[in-house]
Every structure is written in C-alpha cells, then in structure tokens.
Structure 1
Amino acid sequence: MSEYRSVPRRQTLRHAEIIISAALAFTCSVGNLTDAGALLLVRSESAIPDAFELTIGPCDDRHACRVIWRRPGEVGVSFERAGGEI
C-alpha cells in the first residue's frame, strides 16, 4: 500500500507529555512523528483541548500543537510554527 501523505511519517513509541497549564498535564505516547505533526496515543481523547504544548522525551523537544482529528485513544496534531501559523 502506498503512502499518500505529503510528509512521510516515522513510526515511534516515545513518551510525551501534553501540557495544558502549569498545574495540569497528561502523559501520552507518540505513535508516529513528522516535522509537521504527530499521532498521540492517549487514554481519553475528549480530555485533550484543541491547543496545547507537547513535550517529547527524553530530549524534552517542545511543540505548540493544534488538534486536527480525534479517534478513540488517538489524537492527530499539527505543530504550530512561529507566529501561530500551522
């Protein structure tokens, strides 16, 4: 089966943290990753807001994220660029 996406995805199972505020964060796993976004594996997709900061370990890579789609246990996000552009 061919890959029809404009950006190829790299499969991974890295631990990450969805940061909502200084007092609220959720752990998750990154299922796949590109320079433009990621697939996040979460316990409850409905608890994740439309925009948040994502920290991907162990290097603590940080990304401002916007939710593009939701499925049970999964959230697809795009990484925002400087200036708020997606």
Structure 2
Amino acid sequence: MEEERRAVIRHRTLKGGRIVVNDGFSTYQCTVRNLSPAGAQLRVTSIIGIPDSFDLLLDDKQSFACTVIWRRETELGVSFS
C-alpha cells in the first residue's frame, strides 16, 4: 500500500468538468475522481496535449487554477494554485 503524501486528505467524488487551455479556445473533458481544497485527481481520455498548468472548470461552475503534479496515461494529479 502506498504511503499517503498529501498534506490535505482528498475525498472521493465523481464530478464532470473541463480542462481549459489557450484562454478558453481549447478544452478537454475530464472527470474529477477525488477532490480537496488543495488539489484533485482527474481522469481524462488521454493526457496528450494537456499542459503543465491550466484552469479546471467543474460542471457546478467552480473554477480552479491547476498545476500538474503527476501524470499517468489517463489520469492527472493536480494542485490548486
């Protein structure tokens, strides 16, 4: 079992959202799998083309400036700036 390294515990969730880049001209659909005040885990179709920093807009209109902490084929771990 992996050691928990997060300063703030994330809570499981299942929310829709969009990764917004290029001043809103490009978006990527995503699903938020867990969330905390400090960051989130996002599931995407592919990480190709997603930059290291972007805005996350949730379907409930919450918005966060994000920095990518880790990447897997179809997942991103982000911290909120």
Q: TM-score, normalised by structure 2?
A: 0.88
Structure 1 moving runs of 4+ over 4 Å: none
Identity of aligned residues (%): 45
Deviation at 1:7, TM superposition (A): 1.1
- Partner of 1:17 in structure 2? 18
Structure 1: stretches of 5+ with no match in the other structure: 81-86
Partner of 1:31: 33
TM-fit CA distance, 1:56: 1.1
**Number of equivalenced pairs:** 79
Q: Hey, what does 2:55 align to over in structure 1?
A: 53
Moved more, 42-51 or 26-35: 42-51
Q: Which amino acid aligns with 2:48?
A: S
SS in 1 for 2:48: helix
1:44 corresponds to which residue?
46
CA RMSD after TM alignment: 1.7
Instruction: List alignment gaps of at least 5 residues for structure 2.
Output: none
How big is each residue's C-alpha offset from its partner over 1:8-47, in whole Å with a ceiling of 9 and x where there is no partner? 1110010011000221111100000010000000011122
Tell whether 2:75 aligns with 1:79. no
Question: Which shifted more, 4-13 or 68-77?
Answer: 4-13
TM-score under structure 1 length normalisation: 0.83
